[in-house]
Structure formats: structure tokens, C-alpha cells
Structure 1
Amino acid sequence: MSETPTLTNLLDDAALLSLEHQLHLEEVLGSHTWQVDMREGRFEFTGDRPLVCTRFHLLGTAAPGPRSWLWGWANPSGFPEPLVALSASLREFGERYGIAALASAEVPFDALPGSPTEPAEVAYLLADAAKAVSGRWTFYSGQVGGGTRAAFLIEHPDFELPPPDPARVLRLLGQGLASLPLSDHRRALYGYAVRRGLGAMFSPDHARLTITGPAFEVVAEFDPQGRVASINGTATGRSG
């Protein structure tokens, strides 16, 4: 899985771990409201679980009028450099590997995979690419007026995932395979496993992927088209 990255590769690499982080974020926050002061560098949630982020990064904004995404580093409002430094690093990555959606200041919705039409979809998609590149996994987006969505990667110790357990992993994989627009099931499952710190090994013909974790094993079987045909988990009776 070490070939020159493409946007599609990045989205598959991020998809399942991204979903797990977003589900965990919902569990942590519960019912909530949010507010951000980008000049003061403060991002906080109020509601069931009041929380101030330890750090946050403005990725960009998705606007319905021009139907385009504008990266944070290119925003004419001129936000503080620490808030847009991560988006600038994505530009450098995009330039290095020829990924126009990361390298261009403004990206038309129609230029993205699946031609998304809603700002929220665009924000989620480009945040997934940002996650795969940056290794920061918790995303939040919110309305900032006129239907425009601002997208952030946010950090706090409470957003870190709990240790993997068989029921949670199987539930996550089943939900992700059923709901996410994955291009390459093998890549997505393998990428999730290695990024989650799990063991991952393909059979010689790549028709089976075995994922191993603390006291559990998950086996995915692939059909001739490379889609998951079945996935099953078992307790192994050993930890570590």
C-alpha cells in the first residue's frame, strides 16, 4: 500500500478510522453547541459535556453559492498562522504528489469524487483526506452563515479512542462497509487495522484479510471484484 498516494487512496485510508473517531466524538459530547474565536484561538463546546479543545486547526470552508471549497491557508480573512498551518502542510503534500484538491486554493465541488452537492459532504470528504495526511483524526464542522460550513480538526485527550474490543471493531466495520463510499475495500480495511494498531495480514492471493487485536480476530473474505463478501470476528482467549 506504499504507491504514490491519490485523493481516492487517502479517502479509503482514512474512512473507517475517521468514522470511529466521529462516532466517539458524538459519544463524548452528547447534546451540545459550539463556538470558536479564531483570533483568540479558543474552540469550545457547551451542553452535556462542556469542553475546551486543547488545540484546533481550521481546514477550510465549503460555500453553497460558488459551490466550492476554500482552504484555510488561502482565506482572504487572514487567520492566525497557527490555525491554518496544517492546511498549508496539506497544500505542500498535494503539490508533491500532484493532488489538485489539496494543492489548489479553491476546489469546485464538482472536481471532488462523487461530485458532492452539500457543503457538509464536502467538508467531511476533505477532512478525511486531511486526517490521512496529518494523523489528526477528530473533525468538526459547523454553519458560519449563508449555508457555508467551516471545517476543523480538533484536539483534546477525551477525543482519543478507547482500546479496541471485538464488539466495537466488528460493529464499526459493519457500519462502515454498509454506509461509506469506499473505492477499495481491501485498502480501507488494511488501512484501518494498521492505523488502529492492530495486526493485519492478507492471504497469499489477497482473498482474505486477518485482523488481530487484544483477545480477538476478525477475518474478512473478498469476492472476485475485491468487495467484502463476509466478515466475522472471534475471541482468541489471549490478550496483548
Structure 2
Amino acid sequence: MSADPGPLERLVDQAVFLSAEYQAHFATLVGERDWDVDFQRPVLRFAAGDGSPALELRPHFLGSYAQQPSRSWHWGWDNINGFPPAAVELAGQLKTLAAGAGLPEANQDEIEVPRDSELPFRLTLAAKALTGVYAHYAAPAGGGTQAWLLVEAPELALSEPSIMRIVPLVAQSLQATEISDHRAALESYIRLRGLASRPLPGSEGGLRLIAADGGADVEFDELNRITSFTKVELDPEDRALLAEAAPVALQPLHVTVSPAAAAPVEPERGPSSASQSHEPAGTAPSTPPASHDGRAESTGAPAETRPEASPGTAARPSTADRQGEQFPEQTADQSVPAHSAGERPESSPAEDQPAEGSGESARDEPKQEKRGLFSRLFGR
């Protein structure tokens, strides 16, 4: 653990636990449903299924991560794909916020991602901390690329915090990515969720986490790493503290879209069983999206997704070689064909994260078809 974490580490710590809770809830909502995306409206739509109605979310294109020919993250504010303002305006505001937070990764439009790095995922966590939009979806775009979207919808609102969910959520989040200061991360989650806490009697630096359905005693070592997390019954003092606690209101950026950008366009095509692919990346019709699985795994605490971005800019000599990884220019309706939950993304052998490939590639690798939606939501 670093004694002096940098801006990215601090933002990751701030967002990691709340993000994990949102992603777990998101997974339970969408299950194995087909989906498609229309960046013109903009809407990310999951088809009706299992007795549940269709779910429509407001997507914000955050960035893209490409693994070929080289690993790189490309921020959505550098709109090389010509997406409409409605899709990228939040990313533009994020650039200003990230610069104000001293985030060095915001100083360039494209960032090289070292092998085995969690940088794309961590940049997504930082974006959540800065914007107050805590849910995301990693959409396969073909050619080893993912488009990373921050998403909003009333249905994503969390229920009352529960110790029964928090304990496994924290435990599994610690496995998802490096957290520089466990104490700071937990205190951020307590504040954002309106929980209460108090010093743990008989402990040097321990605390009791207090929720309506119980408490948890948390111990830390000298480096602020969590060493134990034990569920306990609440006493009267705990309940009095909880009555005074209140969540911090999240402050998502309110994006203003011009009437032209928000004008209705052709209706989205419904989910197609023939095009079994899970990638809302704004690809042109001439470049069909890859085919991937959309299976949600049921777990109390997700290991969150890692981003995958479009590398080159249009001015680069290598752009022509990157057409498979980079999103092509969009047609007027700015929509993506419907996709099915039947297949999973291709996975990089070097990294335990989705490395989205073509539909044929996904179908040819049945062993990798288990990760699907869970890998898109959590990256594990």
C-alpha cells in the first residue's frame, strides 16, 4: 500500500465498493437478455425476458480499449468515431473534472495499456467517482475492442444497504483490483450509502460498520489493509448512530443535448436470435458486431469490469490497420443491430478480462462462453 496514493488511486478507492454494488444489482436486472444500443437517442436497451419488461438505460460513451495491434485506452471525449453529442458530452465534461482532480491520465486522449494492467477498469472507477454515475457496461465492439459506457436508469437505484450484501461485496471487491487504502475506501462507501460507523472498542483503529439489518466489525493493519470483517448484532448505541446517518447525494453531471442531437431517429431493431452478439459499440452496418454471451452471474459482490478502448486516432498512419479494433464511422441512424445473450466474448490468454473478438471467434471457443455478461459488468 502506498503511503501517498496518487489521484487515480484515490479516485479508485472512493468508487470501488459502491461501484461493485451497482454492478451486482445491474447483473440481476439484465440476466441473459438480448440487447442493442442506439447512440443517436441515446439508449442502451435490454430486451424483455423471464417475465420482466424491457430495460432502457441512458448510455454515456466513456472510452474504448483495444488489445490489437497494441493495448491502448482511448477517451470518448476525443470523438474520432463521430458519435452524436448526446453520447459523448459527459465524457467531455469528465475531461475537465479529471484535469481538476489532477489525474495525469486525462492529459492525453490515448493511453498505452501495459500487458496485465487493470488501467482501463481503474479509469472507469475514477470516472464514476468524478461524475457520480456508478454503473457501467463494457460493450464488445469487434476486433478485440470494447466500448465502455457509463449508464443511468431509475431501475439501477439501489435498495437499502444491507450487511448481508456488504460483507461479501467488500471481500470480493478486494480481489477485483488494488485498493491503495482499504480504510479510505470503506469510509467513502459508508458516507455515500448513509451508513453509520464508530470506533471499535478494544481495537486500535478498528471500526464498526452499522446498517439497518446488523453490523460488521472491521479490523485494519498498520497499512490500513482490512484484516477481518465480522458480522455482529447491533446494540442501542449503534441504532442511535444509524438514525442520525444520511447518504451523501450523488451528483451526476447533467448533460444538455441540443434538440438536433436528441431528435428521434429510426426505431431500434429488436433483439435478433440470428445476430448473437453483445456489443453496443456504435459499429457501422458494414462491420457487424462480434457475437458474445450475455450471461449474468449471481454473486453478492462482483469483481468489476475492465475497460477496453479504441486505440488509434484518424491521423495515425496505423489507423487503416486498426479498422477491426476502432469503431467505424457511423451511419445516420447511429444505431447498432440487436444482439443476443447466447455467446461470450473472446478472452485474452494473458489477461483474465474480456478481449472481445468477432462473432465467429466467440463461437469457435466454447470453453470461454462462460464469462459473458458477468465479464462485461465486472471484468472477471
| TM-score (normalised: structure 1) | 0.85
Higher relative contact order (CA 8 A, sep 6+): 2
Q: How does 1:110-189 map to 2 (within 5 A)?
A: 110=114, 116-117=116-117, 121-189=118-186
1:89 to 93, 96, 109: 93
Alignment root-mean-square deviation, CA: 2.5
- Secondary structure (helix, strand or coil) at the match of 1:44 reads strand
Q: CA deviation at 1:224?
A: 2.0
Q: Which residue of 1 is the match for residue 223 of structure 2?
A: 225
Seen in structure 2, the aligned counterparts of structure 1 residues 178 and 105 have a Cα distance that, compared at 3 Å, is closer
Q: CA deviation at 1:30?
A: 1.1
Seen in structure 2, the aligned counterparts of structure 1 residues 103 and 93 have a Cα distance that, compared at 3 Å, is farther
1:56 to 55, 59, 63: 59
Q: CA deviation at 1:107?
A: 1.5
Q: Which residue of 2 is the match for residue 75 of structure 1?
A: 79
Alpha-carbon displacement from aligned partner over 1:92-140 (angstroms, at most 9, x marks no partner) = 1222232121342111113xxxx645xxx55432221111111111110
Q: Is the 8 A contact 2:72 2:112 kept in 1?
A: yes
1:200 to 190, 197, 202: 197
Q: CA deviation at 1:223?
A: 1.3
Q: Is the 8 A contact 1:219 1:232 kept in 2?
A: yes
| CA distance in structure 2 between the partners assigned to 1:196 and 1:158 by the alignment | 17
| CA distance in structure 1 between the partners assigned to 2:57 and 2:174 by the alignment | 32
- Secondary structure (helix, strand or coil) at the match of 1:56 reads strand
Q: CA deviation at 1:38?
A: 0.9
Q: Is the 8 A contact 1:16 1:189 kept in 2?
A: yes
Q: Is the 8 A contact 1:57 1:84 kept in 2?
A: yes
Q: CA deviation at 1:201?
A: 4.2
Q: Is the 8 A contact 1:42 1:52 kept in 2?
A: no
Q: Which residue of 2 is the match for residue 43 of structure 1?
A: 44
Seen in structure 2, the aligned counterparts of structure 1 residues 166 and 11 have a Cα distance that, compared at 3 Å, is same
| TM-score (normalised: structure 2) | 0.56
Q: Which residue of 2 is the match for residue 29 of structure 1?
A: 30
| CA distance in structure 2 between the partners assigned to 1:218 and 1:131 by the alignment | 26
- Secondary structure (helix, strand or coil) at the match of 2:24 reads helix
| CA distance in structure 1 between the partners assigned to 2:204 and 2:110 by the alignment | 39
Q: Relative to total residues, which structure has the larger helix share, 1 or 2? A: 1
| CA distance in structure 1 between the partners assigned to 2:204 and 2:121 by the alignment | 30
Q: Relative to total residues, which structure has the larger strand share, 1 or 2? A: 1
Q: Is the 8 A contact 1:14 1:129 kept in 2?
A: yes
Instruction: Give 1:16's aligned amino acid.
Output: F
Q: CA deviation at 1:175?
A: 2.0
Question: How many percent of aligned residue pairs carry the same amino acid?
Answer: 33
Alpha-carbon displacement from aligned partner over 1:28-84 (angstroms, at most 9, x marks no partner) = 111123211112312101244453434221101111123111111102122122221
Alpha-carbon displacement from aligned partner over 1:185-228 (angstroms, at most 9, x marks no partner) = 11111111111111234579972122222242222111123211
2:214 to 210, 213, 216: 216
Q: Is the 8 A contact 1:4 1:97 kept in 2?
A: no
* 2:14 is equivalent to residue 13 of structure 1: yes
| CA distance in structure 2 between the partners assigned to 1:5 and 1:50 by the alignment | 43
| CA distance in structure 2 between the partners assigned to 1:129 and 1:7 by the alignment | 6
Q: Is the 8 A contact 2:210 2:234 kept in 1?
A: no
Count of matched residue positions in the alignment of Structure 1 and Structure 2: 231
Alpha-carbon displacement from aligned partner over 1:131-159 (angstroms, at most 9, x marks no partner) = 11111111101111101100001111221
Seen in structure 2, the aligned counterparts of structure 1 residues 172 and 6 have a Cα distance that, compared at 3 Å, is same
Seen in structure 2, the aligned counterparts of structure 1 residues 116 and 104 have a Cα distance that, compared at 3 Å, is farther
Instruction: Give 2:224's aligned amino acid.
Output: G
| CA distance in structure 1 between the partners assigned to 2:180 and 2:58 by the alignment | 32
Q: Which residue of 1 is the match for residue 369 of structure 2?
A: none
Structure 1: 5+ residue runs without aligned partners? Answer: none
Seen in structure 2, the aligned counterparts of structure 1 residues 22 and 43 have a Cα distance that, compared at 3 Å, is same
